[in-house]
Copies of this chain bind each other. A is one copy, B any other.
Amino acid sequence: MTGAQSLVRTLIASGVDLCLTNPGTSEIHFVAALDAEPEMRAVLGLFEGVVTGAADGYARMTGKPACTLLHLGPGLGNGLANLHNARRARVPVVNIVGEHATYHRALDAPLTSDIESVAANVSQWVRTSQDAARVARDGAEAVAASYGPPGQVATLILPADVAWSPGGVPAEPLPRRFPQAPDSERVEEVARTLRAAGVQSTLLMNGTALSEEGLLLAGKVAAATGARLFSDTFVTRAARGAGRVAAGALPYLGEMAMGLLEGTRHLVLVGTRAPVSFFAYPDKPGTLMPKGCQVLTLAEPLEDGVAALTALVEALDATGAIAVTAPEERPPLPSGALTPEIVAQVVAHLLPEHAIVMNEGATAARAVPGLLARSAPHDWLDLTGGAIGQGMPAATGAALACPDRKVVNLEADGSGMYTLQALWTQAREALDVTTVILSNRRYAILEMEYRRVGAGDPSAATRGLFDLSRPQLDWVSLARGMGVAGMRASTAGELAKGLRRGIEEGGPYLVEAVL
């Protein structure tokens, strides 16, 4: 048995059954090993950013890692941005990065580079496997490491000769560490604070606290104490929509976030950290909290948010409290030319039950969360690390994870162009993803940020650098070029028609919503 064969068998035994890849020569023995193991599904992406973003989306929906298979340093580099997003999402991902044979590295062949230096940027766990007899054990360790807690990126660098040499020995899966409940002292302290000053308190949440179960518990806390509920600005995954307890996202703009938190004297963190500004701005604060606000940590990101909320509900004697859930109030189907508000109304009118909504719509999607909160129950995924180009790949991975659910990807045109190759994988695997391109034909967020960073008013030349209209992107042609059907919509009626087509028929579809 080769090292590669023992590694693939061990990954499968450890629960990894999806390999997302764009392989090259140095990964061929791993590819060959996949051949004998039908339990591992292999899915091809035409660019590594698709591969790593899909691994992120898959992990968010399954809670377990897929493995990527990447081609040396450049392949890892191409996948780095979406690994950054996965790192910030705190989800498990296992990278297998092919490397030259151990004895070939010294020759400094053209593809040689220091892979570990790149891997360190996104990985909590990095190892270069040294021999075929050990590589399976390395793989088992990588899987265990990826679970954290919290979930993280583990990168195993696989030299070609380690892969092809005989002597591979499959390894036992290693026990993973599960997130723990916080100690009772912390729970008691939070309970005391909420009992005394619930209406001056806010719970800020991310991670499992935002599951339907976690939110229901948080809703009991809110009902019993008057505390308010918010989620991070960008969430890994949140259960939202009718029938769920609502926890609005803290706004991206620091001044708005500060406004919302005004009056909060106690900020209780559940699976997250104290809020900070996404970027620095001259003369604006970096930490987004009212003066004198006390920060209490109910659950660290590495702890079990649901268990923490369960304990808090018990400590508050609030098991019987009635959490307020969102009613279903879908907006009527609007008419007229598309605006961000009209797009949001159409989507909220038509969203099917239990859809997965991947949002990378940036400024043009700003009205969507508010309206979707009273539309069908759904899971909402955000761009977590700010590295654009996540939406289409993560939607692809979510669809691979949940073949019975509809995935709706709200995608900005600028962000979508980063990893549009994902559409090809959606077509190839017949994935049930409806992509809505929010096509405002500019990097609108940079026009806004220009003023916010104190650079004054952008000149015509500068606005040109934020302008995607020369030439105009034609997303229907781009999609067709990768085997995905689509249509362009300029009015509410056209968008509704396209969205219905995407929702009612299986497989991938794209609607370019021209704003």
Contacts and interface: CB of A to CB of B under 8 A. Distances in A.
Interface of A: 21, 23-26, 28-29, 31-32, 34-35, 42, 44, 46-47, 49, 73-75, 77-78, 80-81, 84, 88, 100-101, 103-104, 107-111, 113-115, 117-118, 120-122, 160-161, 164, 234, 273, 276-280, 282, 286-287, 384-387, 389, 414, 417-418, 420-421, 424, 427-428, 445-446, 449-450, 452-456, 458-459, 461-462, 464-465, 468, 470-478, 480-483
Given A77-B387, A100-B279, 19 more contacts: A28-B453, A31-B465, A34-B462, A35-B458, A77-B78, A77-B80, A77-B118, A78-B389, A108-B273, A109-B278, A109-B286, A110-B278, A118-B121, A160-B453, A161-B280, A164-B282, A424-B471, A428-B471, A474-B480
Contacts of A109: 276-279, 286
Nearest to A120: B117
A81 B74 contact: yes
A445 B26 CA distance: 12
A170 B75 CA distance: 38
In this complex, which of A25, A74, A104, A282 has the most chain B Cβ atoms within 10 angstroms of its Cβ? A74
Nearest to A105: B280
A446 B161 CA distance: 17
A481 B6 CA distance: 45
A359 to B, nearest CB: 15
Contacts of A25: 278-279, 445-446, 449, 452-453
Nearest to A159: B280
A481 B413 CA distance: 12
A446 B23 contact: yes
A74 B78 contact: no
Given A24-B446, A114-B120, A276-B109, A32 B455 contact: yes
Copies of the chain in the assembly: 2
A111 B122 CA distance: 11
Contact of A21 (B73, B114, B450, B465): B465
Nearest to A423: B471
Contacts of A47: 389, 417-418
Given A109-B276, A428-B471, A471-B427, A73 B477 contact: no
Contact of A73 (B31, B84, B278, B482): B84
User: What 6 A-B pairs are tightest by C-beta distance, nearest first?
Assistant: A471-B483, A77-B80, A74-B387, A478-B481, A101-B280, A477-B481
Given A81-B77, A278-B111, A449 B28 contact: yes
Contacts of A32: 450, 455-456, 458, 462
Nearest to A413: B46
Contacts of A470: 428
Contacts of A122: 113
B110 A386 contact: yes
Nearest to A44: B465
B417 A46 contact: yes
In this complex, which of A121, A446, A455, A483 has the most chain B Cβ atoms within 10 angstroms of its Cβ? A121
7 contacts: A25-B445, A46-B414, A46-B468, A74-B84, A77-B118, A109-B278, A471-B483
A35 B459 contact: yes
Given A453-B29, A453-B164, A73 B121 contact: yes
B465 A418 contact: no
B471 A111 contact: no
Nearest to A384: B110
Contacts of A450: 28, 31-32
Nearest to A383: B110
Contacts of A453: 25, 28-29, 160, 164
Contacts of A110: 88, 234, 278, 384-386
A110 to B, nearest CB: 5
A461 B121 CA distance: 34
A77 B77 contact: yes
A107 B286 contact: yes
Contact of A160 (B114, B280, B424): B280
Contacts of A481: 473-478, 481
Contacts of A88: 110
Contacts of A28: 446, 449-450, 453, 455
